[in-house]
Structure 1
Amino acid sequence: MRINMRHVYGWLLLLPGFTLIVAFTHYPTVTTFINSFFSNQTVIRPKKFVGLSNYEYMLNDPVFLQTFKNTIYFALTTVPLSIALALAMAVFVQEKIRGRSVVRLAYFTPTILPMVAVANIWLFFYAPEIGLINQIFQYFNLPQQNFLGDTNMVLEATIVMTVWKEAGFFMIFYLAALQSIPKELNEAAKIEGASAWTSFWKITFPLLMPTTFFVMVNALINSFKMIDHLFILTKGGPDNASNLLLYYIYDVAFSFFDYAYAATLTIVLLALLIVVSLIQFGLVERKIHYK
């Protein structure tokens, strides 16, 4: 049997990347899935197979149900708001306005800041009495608000901060896409009597759909993995009103040292991401025209 050396070279080139993917993605996923069917191991008590007990406990865990609902709400709110704001900013700075470069820089600046730094900035904004927002309220004789201490406001407060942080990053992609659209298309529509809104909605926006899909995928991923701000702002409180699923997994694993239950929660998060990916690439992408 003759060996094709080109195939051997090809597999050797793929081997480093394949090894890293297996070692840091597939193997931990399989191990986590297996551990979700075992009890938590301690120094004096070895782990044992418990079947679906961890999943049954999870379905009756009020903290999990609260964090799961918070995560879905957080994702469904931050993603469209970030996309809409990013598109609006890109359209604005695309026009020939005075100080356009300065405006672009101002829009993009929050993106280059670490999330911990952003959280500290907004902690100053949201602080009761001495915070910037409450100082403005006091100036206009409006009632003071405890944004991070009110269960009815804390999640929305973190959403506002997240949108402020993310929109500038997504604006760059929209700005690049807008600059690639031929100006003749909008000029022809203007000659035919189309309004600016009609031209945008019928010509520009459909041509931006590939970029919108790309931005949407990244925004959804960020919404599920972004928990840095919770360490600074709320730590999931008050009463788990701002707790998200990934932060709860961290808390269970490294505060309560219940690795088996943390593995169970991780599998649920992975399943949720798989469902979201199937919806995105199975349904949404089919409606997008790349050419």
Structure 2
Amino acid sequence: MSAHANLERRRQAIYGWLLLSPAAVLLTLFAFYPSVATLWSSMFSRGTRRKPTEFVGTENYAELFADPTFWIVVKNNLLYAGVTIPVSIFIALSMALWANSKIRARGFVRTAYFTPTVLPMIAAANLWLFFYTPGLGVLDQIGSLFGLPSVNWLGQPETALWAIIIVTIWKEAGFFMIFYLAALQTIPEDLKEAADIEGTSRWTYTRRIVLPLLMPTTLFIAVNAMINSVKLIDHLFILTKGGPSDASKLILYYIYEMAFAFFDAPSAAAMTMMVIGVLGIVAAVQFLYLDKRTHYQ
């Protein structure tokens, strides 16, 4: 009997590993191995015909910290993330609350909000060129009606990054709205009926009941927004190419330049590992601390 139980347990274990093997193979090929290879590459020098690569340890990381452009890019990315994440979440929540209410043409409103999300990144960037082009763009045309001078929104260090931020918020708010909309539809109607019976105002109901129940969704969106804030590259190619004077250059675009414009793959690998480390810390905070405090069961 014991031998039969051991055999059955072994069969179940094999069955479980067979179910996990496709995901394990894909993760190994496209996540674990590239990460290890990138870490290993970051510890070697850039090779040339006369001077082959050699192991330098953490020297590439030290050079990055001594690079003033690196700190400009970090500052740009912190500002970019610090504005796009909370503003996108706030707009997405506001749109979801309105689109979930009993209004006319509710389906049209939801579609209109979601439309920017389905546009390809390159197409969205080209669309915004019609807004930002000096003299000919929509913004300058509107400004001219009030006697305002033409502004080179993408060609000035003071406005270039903010122009990119606006495009990102416009693109991502509708995408995040879908998650909020799905979460709102899972809230029982009994809660709203009970609040109405108690004479609770709509704002109090939203603040004391809806928002706490949406916290798991908000956390999920915030983590995704954080990841998105370090992987923007499409808009920069079309709109600014990181300029002027590195004013709109973000971390992924700088990694691309290091690897394919300056042919400095080790420095690009070192920067990539730092990004992975930061995102890993964010994920750890989510699962070990915040996740336990945002679910109401």
Q: TM-score, normalised by structure 1?
A: 0.95
1:80 matched residue in structure 2: 86
| Shift, 1:186, TM fit | 2.3
Structure 2 counterpart of 1:77, one-letter code: V
1:246 matched residue in structure 2: 252
2:99 matched residue in structure 1: 93
| Shift, 1:225, TM fit | 1.3
2:197 is aligned, of 162, 187, 191, to: 191
- 1:117-196 equivalent positions in 2, closer than 5 A: 117-196=123-202
CA distance in 2, matches of 1:15, 1:203: 42
Q: Which runs of at least 4 in structure 1 moved beyond 6 Å after TM superposition?
A: none
1:221 matched residue in structure 2: 227
Structure 1 counterpart of 2:251, one-letter code: L
Deviations 1:42-89 (A, max 9, x none): 333211112222111111111111111111221121111111101100
1:235 matched residue in structure 2: 241
Matched residue SS, 2:205: helix
1:18 matched residue in structure 2: 24
CA contact (8 A) 2:232 2:250 kept: no
| Shift, 1:224, TM fit | 1.4
Higher mean alpha-carbon deviation, 3-12 vs 126-135, is at 3-12
Structure 1 counterpart of 2:201, one-letter code: S
CA distance in 2, matches of 1:192, 1:16: 53
Matched residue SS, 2:229: helix
1:281 matched residue in structure 2: 287
Matched residue SS, 1:224: coil
Q: TM-score, normalised by structure 2?
A: 0.93
CA distance in 1, matches of 2:120, 2:268: 27
- 1:5-84 equivalent positions in 2, closer than 5 A: 5-84=11-90
CA contact (8 A) 2:223 2:282 kept: no
CA distance in 2, matches of 1:52, 1:79: 32
Structure 2 counterpart of 1:265, one-letter code: M
Matched residue SS, 1:180: coil
CA distance in 2, matches of 1:213, 1:222: 14
Structure 2 counterpart of 1:9, one-letter code: Y
Higher mean alpha-carbon deviation, 190-199 vs 169-178, is at 190-199
CA distance in 2, matches of 1:227, 1:283: 31
Structure 1 counterpart of 2:229, one-letter code: S
CA distance in 2, matches of 1:80, 1:216: 8
CA distance in 1, matches of 2:263, 2:275: 19
Deviations 1:75-129 (A, max 9, x none): 1211111111011001111122222211111101001000100000111111111
| Shift, 1:185, TM fit | 1.4
CA distance in 2, matches of 1:127, 1:224: 26
CA distance in 1, matches of 2:61, 2:186: 49
Structure 2 counterpart of 1:37, one-letter code: M
Contiguous gaps of at least 5 residues in structure 2: none
1:115 aligns with 2:121: yes
Give aligned pairs, total: 291
CA distance in 1, matches of 2:108, 2:233: 30
Matched residue SS, 2:95: helix
Higher mean alpha-carbon deviation, 11-20 vs 82-91, is at 11-20
